Amino acid sequence: MAANISPSAFDKEQIFGMAEKEMEYRVELFNKMTQTCFNKCVDNRYKESELNMGENSCIDRCVSKYWHVTNLIGQLLGSGKPPM
């Protein structure tokens, strides 16, 4: 017979705090990746209202590499999640 264990208010607060930190981390990672790839791939003299084929390809490759390297570093550090 399993006991019905509900988390205490302290446990809930800790869980919420961890979830909040994780969300902050993900937003910062996304912002860094977006800024890095945009600066690398998009010419700062805008000639067209939309990205051209070369810029699209560059951004696609940049995001893929950024995510891959971030995950590799996270695995090397043993945390299982990408570093900041």
For residues 78 and 84, is the Cβ–Cβ distance under 8 A? no
> Which pTM was predicted?
0.68
What per-residue confidence (pLDDT) applies to 79? 62
Distance CA 57, CA 70 (A): 20
Q: Which domains does the chain have, with CATH numbers?
A: 9-79 (1.10.287.810)
What per-residue confidence (pLDDT) applies to 45? 85
pLDDT digits (tens, 9 = 90+) for 4-63: 666 677 788 888 899 999 899 889 999 999 999 999 999 888 888 899 999 999 999 999
Largest CA distance in the chain: 69
Question: In the numeric block, which tokens belong to residue 45?
Answer: 């003299």
What per-residue confidence (pLDDT) applies to 43? 87
More confident residue, 81 or 15: 15
What per-residue confidence (pLDDT) applies to 30? 94
